[in-house]
């Protein structure tokens, strides 16, 4: 059984080596967790009127980081499982894009209201055994990727972990965190990433911890520090203006504060903005009129200007990247848990009214920012 207490000298050396890994000046990223499913459902993506592989489109347009979610054993879908994520990473690497692996440690969506333990781990009362389960799941999957020559450059240990992770109850407790348990589980995942990196031939993945909304980040990371969180490399933030009380300027200021006080690189790993308020299928769109920021209309140009402005604010705060969620979740004949079609087609990078032609928002990735 793995010990989760402290860091060995060897682990400290691995951390130093990982921190020296080559990084771009700025990450222009896209969460492409839905792409394989959309293609299997008959979806097409067009560039200048021609049907084009979506991975190729993103790479050509300037995307240098693909984020992809991994669920433990999602028996309700054939996607975001170990094989599907393997293919996403392989295709991203084939198109010369780096990868951020987002491990949810759940069989379904993990977010600030839901952190549900995987079914195979449910009922494990012994914290040491559960920590070992987290370690083995993380380490074994990363070594599978390593043996295939597609180790990711970064790994998220948990997704939007504002509340206690891997909760062993029917309804997630969104208010109380058992920090001893929480940190032990997160440290197990971090140690697995470090150990896998220690055995890797070239890429030694960096570690990210991810909180939804800048409003809640400082308190969480301060509590994690006090309670003994293991060394990590990146602070990841979700920033959706309709769910945040922070303006873009406040986001920029918070990025700077987090970077200074915690000594970590900071990245916005989830953001979105609608290019229209129109629906193109029966599925209800999540981002409606309530999601709009003053000054940015729900138009293709409004979406582009939103992303340019947001990215500049992140750069101004010393942030190292912006990742868009989920720019390729187009409308198809397939269904989600909540209805047929896409709940996001009005916020993708593709025009659902014109055969999914690439929208102007792609231009934000090659915009001449002030740095």
| Residues belonging to the active site | 160, 270
60: CB partners within 8 A, 6+ apart: 47
CA angle (340 as vertex; 59, 57 as ends), nearest 5: 10
List C-alpha distances in Å: 62 to 97, 220, 327, 364. Answer: 9, 33, 14, 9
Residues with Cβ within 8 Å of residue 146, at least 6 apart in sequence:
196, 199, 200, 201
Task: Identify whether the C-beta of residue 236 lies closer than 8 Å to the C-beta of residue 269.
Answer: yes
Reported as half-sphere exposure (CB side, CA atoms, 13 A), residue 24 has a value of 19
Helix (H), strand (E) counts: the chain = 9, 14
How far apart CA 140 and CA 135 sit, in angstroms, is: 8
Phi and psi at residue 171, in whole multiples of 5°? -120, 130
The continuous run of DSSP H or E covering 14 comes out as helix 9-19
The Cβ of residue 11 has, within 10 Å, a number of other Cβ atoms equal to 18
Looking at residue 117, what DSSP letter applies?
A: P
Q: How many angstroms separate the CA atoms of 72 and 83, rounded?
A: 11
CB 232 within 8 A of CB 190: yes
User: Could you give the 3-state DSSP secondary structure of residue 35?
Assistant: helix
The closest alpha carbon to 67, from 229, 196, 238, 222, belongs to 238
Exposed e or buried b per residue across 351-368, where buried means at least 16 C-beta atoms within 10 angstroms of its C-beta: bbeeebebbbbbebbeee
């Amino acid at each position: 059984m793995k010990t989760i207490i402290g860091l060995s000298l060897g682990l400290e050396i691995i951390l130093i080596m990982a921190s020296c890994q080559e990084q771009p000046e700025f990450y222009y990223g896209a969460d492409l967790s839905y792409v394989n499913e959309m293609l299997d459902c008959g979806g097409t993506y067009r560039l200048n009127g021609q049907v084009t592989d979506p991975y190729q489109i993103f790479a050509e347009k300037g995307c240098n980081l693909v984020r992809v979610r991994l669920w433990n054993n999602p028996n309700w879908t054939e996607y975001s499982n170990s094989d599907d994520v393997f293919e996403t990473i392989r295709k991203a690497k084939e198109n010369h894009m780096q990868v951020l692996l987002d491990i949810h440690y759940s069989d379904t969506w993990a977010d600030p209201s839901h952190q549900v333990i995987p079914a195979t781990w449910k009922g494990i009362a012994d914290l040491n055994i559960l920590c070992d389960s987290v370690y083995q799941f993380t380490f074994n999957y990363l070594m599978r990727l390593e043996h295939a020559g597609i180790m990711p450059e970064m790994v998220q240990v948990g997704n939007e972990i504002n509340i206690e992770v891997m909760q062993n109850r029917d309804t997630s407790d969104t208010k109380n965190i058992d920090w001893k348990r929480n940190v032990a589980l997160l440290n197990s995942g971090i140690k697995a990433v470090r150990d896998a990196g220690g055995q890797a031939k070239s890429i030694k993945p960096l570690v990210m911890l991810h909180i939804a909304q800048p409003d809640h980040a400082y308190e969480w990371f301060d509590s994690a520090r006090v309670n003994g969180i293991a060394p990590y490399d990146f602070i990841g933030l979700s920033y959706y203006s309709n769910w945040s009380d922070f303006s873009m300027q406040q986001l920029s200021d918070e990025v700077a504060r987090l970077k200074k006080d915690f000594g970590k690189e900071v990245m916005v790993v989830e953001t979105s903005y609608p290019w229209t308020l129109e629906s193109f299928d029966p599925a209800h769109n999540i981002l409606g009129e309530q999601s709009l920021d003053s000054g940015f209309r729900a138009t293709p140009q409004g979406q582009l200007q939103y992303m340019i402005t947001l990215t500049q604010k992140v750069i101004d705060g010393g942030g190292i990247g912006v990742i868009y969620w989920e720019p390729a979740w187009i409308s198809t004949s397939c269904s989600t848990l909540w209805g047929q079609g896409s709940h996001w087609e009005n916020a993708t990078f593709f025009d659902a009214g014109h055969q999914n032609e690439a929208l102007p928002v792609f231009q934000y990735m090659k915009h001449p920012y002030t740095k």
